Amino acid sequence: MAVICIGATCQAQAGSLVVDNGEITDVVNVEIRGELYDLKFVDSSFNGGYPANFAGYGALACDAVKAIVAASDSGTLRVRQDLKPRGCASSDACTILVPNHATGAAPSATMSYACELIHVGGQLRSGDPQWPFDPSMDTGYMPDMTYAILTPAQ
């Protein structure tokens, strides 16, 4: 995480990328609703990758997508064209699923819905805000999709 200090005041730089072995593993310190969050990219299924009783982030999921897209559009969050989110092997585009709600809850959800964050050509764009997805499908078998886990920033 980068830290900017001016005089006695320090402020975390919002919207930083964490890169490991040429992949974007996280977007950290994204301001959403006045709070800082981290978004971690993981290949998994909804039912296998999220904790028991998890049924989605609610409206926070789409707010996270909007905040990341806004940071990308403003240039605050710079994504190099040669970097892809972890779990994205497609040379064209990748869909990052940020779950907003599910029918049931992990590990037994029967349908999940996600706000889409689309990575294409070094840019981040929003996609469908209610994309239905089979919660048992592991994105590890899908080169153009991965999940995002949203947590309060550390």
pLDDT digits (tens, 9 = 90+) for 7-28: 333 333 457 899 999 899 999 9
* Inter-residue contact 61 to 150 (CB < 8 Å): yes
Kindly report the pTM of this predicted structure.
Answer: 0.86
* Inter-residue contact 117 to 129 (CB < 8 Å): no
Residue 12 within a domain = no
**pLDDT tens column, 31-84:** 999 999 999 999 999 999 999 999 999 999 999 999 999 998 888 888 888 888
**pLDDT tens column, 138-148:** 999 999 999 99
User: Residue 59 is part of which domain span?
Assistant: 41-147
Residue 29 within a domain = no
Q: How many domains does the chain have?
A: 1
Residue 3 within a domain = no
Residue 30 within a domain = no
Handedness of CA 63, 58, 35, 33 (dihedral sign): positive
